[in-house]
Amino acid sequence: MLLPHPGISTVRGWADSTGTWFVVLFLVAHTVVTVFPIPRTMFTVSAGVLFGPIGILLCMLASTAAAVIAFLAVRAVDARHRSAVLARVREHRAYLPIAARLRARGWLAVGSLRLIAVAPFSLVNYASALSPVRFWPYLAATVAGLAPGTIAVVLLGDALTGESSPWLVVVSGTLMMVGIAGLLVDARMPARPVD
């Protein structure tokens, strides 16, 4: 038996009525939770439902902050403890292919892995920190790679409310195709050593 629940437009109205504190709480929760190995998709869809297109900015800020915090935290770990972090990260079956891409392509791998969520967000953060990829290229590739997918998913979440323009769904689909095209281009490019 299902419990009664409010409709999506009711939830959007509630979010609109709560004011700035809810936006700040959402940003903080999104940032803190996604530093850890917890999928960010629920936040991205929720941002579209709760905030509409402004959710794009919120998700980009929170995801970028989480990526930076995770990267810097792993880099700050001393050598003795870094081997323990590496042992833990290596337990994930996707680590070795990600690490190989990072060694072969450097920051380009970061961008391509971010375009479409082919690898867990947090795992890319940790693996990047354990690789020779430098911080500023990592940050730029993270922002560029997250943007198309984040925009697409937030706009799809917004479309669930029934209040968005049908053109936003077209934009969302187009951005998803950009992400897929980026991955295909990256897969065909010759690998370069990390700079």
The pTM for the full model equals 0.83
Mean pLDDT value across residues 101-125? 85
Running DSSP on this structure, what letter comes out for residue 159?
A: H
Q: What is the number of other CB atoms lying within 10 angstroms of the CB of residue 8? A: 15
Q: What's the rounded Cα separation, in Å, for the pair 153 and 173?
A: 9
Q: What is the pLDDT of residue 194?
A: 44
Closest-CA residue to 121 (of 69, 173, 159): 69
CB 70 within 8 A of CB 38: no
Query: Of 11-15, 100-104, 156-160, 187-191, which gets the smallest average pLDDT?
Result: 187-191
What long-range pairs does 162-165 form, CB within 8 A, spacing at least 24? Answer: 162/8, 162/9, 163/9, 163/12, 163/52, 164/52, 164/53
CA–CA gap between residue 50 and residue 154 (Å, rounded): 10
pLDDT tens by residue, 129-186? 999 899 999 999 999 999 988 998 898 888 888 776 777 767 767 777 776 776 677 6
Residue 117 pLDDT greater than 80, yes or no: no
Give pLDDT, residue 156. 87
* Choice among 22-26, 111-115, 129-133 with the minimum mean pLDDT: 111-115
Mean pLDDT over 49-68 rounds to 96
Inter-residue contact 156 to 49 (CB < 8 Å): no
Distances (CA, A) of 132 to 36, 65, 129: 21, 20, 8
The Cα–Cα gap between 7 and 17 comes to 16
Q: CA-CA distance, 181 to 115, in Å (whole number)? A: 9
Percent of the chain with pLDDT over 90: 43
